């Protein structure tokens, strides 16, 4: 196996599973080089249905180079409503062309047709529903990705063959959490989370404000180092003065300390979705490390061994996407290995690894040994996730193998494939490009 880039190793992605030199090039040179369309499982009534029984208007928006939260803020402002009345199933990155559903409570179709959001947005009215959209309504995403300036486009075929060997006749990759989970330009959310798990809230603040990343501009790295020196000396106003307005969350934390809040209270002033990401990023980091250890040990990702925990495929998944169902799991015994292997071969079952939390049952045998070794390396265990207030996490599991059926065309080099929700197109594309993560967008 080829080793990954240092910035990938920093988030637990240690290896490539294909040996062939990558095609090179880069993704997202233009926003329309990365097109993503949601695959939903959400039923609607006609737009003219009774608004009393179906108070949620469902729209489909195509966003060009606009991040989901940014669009929602603009839409709520134009409609003159609270953004809390707008819901969606999955958040999309900015540098892309993304197509997704939104539900809006208490709005008539005429209000949408009259709203002006510029040429970067196209909106279609889908219908009405009796409830808001939520994360569970997202089944997956369909991607069409164009690679700019590839150096060896002809290598895509050989890489696909190697990924098919890895998946035992099914093309696939390890179902790693991608760079975006940890911060694309500055992957430190898991480090903040580890400090929180250890009860060191002061270090959590220091890490978020002052820990530089090599992928940041040198000036920004210097700013963080200077701010960190002031924080260490309890010179809070000087730390705030150093931080530019563009580092708004960092300034929010220091402001809170100046106001006399504790370090825990300072962290709690950040947006709730960011707070949740800290602990979730730790779970993702541990998961990535477990997968890398499994690769090191040469243990198959598609043929279970005794002690593995498998889940079964969601029977209600829409056509074209296979979704692992974490509500239906089973520990593989010695006697059941062969039978479960057949299910895995047909994508009726998937080997899983834990997203560790207080309710996690670690595996047994060699698999359990790997999971415990990874936790011990971070000096935490399942009890570490029994955090105060809403920080606690019971944990869940996640499939370790990501099957993919890529359609690849040349001139331009383009990849089309569907993935289940929660999986990352970049962990597929990294095997093909083998470029630094920053080139994956």
Count of C-beta atoms within a 10 Å radius of residue 336: 16
- Residue 373, H or E segment: helix 365-377
What SS3 state is found at 86?
Answer: strand
381 annotated active-site: no
Q: Which of 32, 87, 93, 361 is catalytic?
A: 93
C-beta separation of 352 from 310 below 8 A: yes
Range 372-380, long-range pairs (CB < 8 A, 24+ positions): 373/293, 374/286, 374/289, 374/290, 374/293, 375/286, 377/289, 378/194, 378/286, 379/198, 380/194, 380/197, 380/198
Q: Are 211 and 191 in contact (CB under 8 A)?
A: yes
Beta partners for residue 34, in sequence order: 145
> Can you read off the two tokens belonging to residue 322?
């296979």
Q: Do 291 and 175 form a contact (C-beta atoms < 8 A)?
A: yes
Residues belonging to the active site:
93
């Amino acid at each position: 196996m080829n080793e990954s880039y240092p910035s990938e190793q920093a988030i637990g992605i240690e290896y490539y599973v294909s040996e062939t030199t990558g095609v090179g090039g880069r993704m997202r040179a233009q926003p329309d080089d990365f097109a993503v369309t949601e695959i939903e499982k959400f039923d609607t009534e006609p737009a003219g249905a009774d608004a009393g029984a179906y108070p949620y208007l469902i729209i489909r928006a195509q966003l060009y180079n606009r991040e989901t939260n940014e669009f929602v803020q603009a839409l709520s402002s134009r409609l003159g409503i609270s953004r809390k009345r707008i819901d969606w199933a999955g958040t999309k990155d900015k540098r892309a062309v993304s197509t997704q559903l939104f539900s809006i409570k208490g709005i008539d179709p005429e209000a949408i047709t009259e709203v002006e959001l510029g040429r970067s947005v196209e909106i279609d009215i889908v219908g009405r529903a009796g409830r808001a959209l939520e994360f569970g309504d997202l089944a997956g995403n369909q991607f069409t990705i164009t690679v700019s300036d590839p150096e060896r486009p002809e290598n895509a075929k050989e890489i696909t063959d190697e990924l098919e060997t890895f998946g035992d006749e099914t093309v696939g990759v390890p179902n790693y959490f991608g760079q975006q989970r940890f911060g694309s330009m500055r992957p430190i959310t898991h480090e903040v989370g580890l400090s929180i798990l250890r009860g060191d809230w002061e270090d959590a603040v220091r890490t978020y404000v002052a820990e530089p990343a090599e992928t940041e501009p040198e000036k920004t790295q210097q700013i963080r180092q200077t701010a960190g020196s002031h924080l260490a000396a309890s010179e809070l106003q000087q730390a705030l003065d150093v931080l530019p307005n563009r580092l708004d969350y960092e300034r929010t934390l220091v402001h809170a300390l100046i106001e006399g809040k504790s370090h825990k209270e300072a962290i709690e002033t950040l947006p709730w979705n960011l707070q949740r990401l800290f602990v979730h990023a730790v779970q993702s980091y541990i998961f990535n490390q477990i997968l890398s250890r499994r690769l090191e040990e040469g243990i198959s990702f598609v043929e279970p061994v005794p002690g593995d925990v498998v889940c079964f495929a969601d029977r209600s998944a829409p056509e074209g996407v296979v979704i692992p169902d974490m509500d239906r799991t089973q520990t593989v015994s010695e006697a059941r290995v062969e039978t479960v292997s057949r299910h895995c071969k047909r994508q009726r079952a998937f080997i899983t690894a834990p997203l560790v939390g207080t309710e996690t049952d670690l595996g047994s045998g060699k698999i359990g040994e790997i999971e415990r070794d990874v936790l011990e390396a971070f000096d935490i265990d399942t009890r570490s996730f029994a955090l105060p207030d809403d920080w606690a996490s019971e944990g869940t599991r996640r499939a370790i193998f990501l099957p993919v059926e890529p359609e690849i065309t040349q001139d331009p080099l383009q990849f089309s494939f569907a993935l289940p929700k929660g999986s990352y197109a970049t962990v597929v594309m990294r095997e093909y490009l083998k470029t630094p993560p920053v080139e994956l967008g």
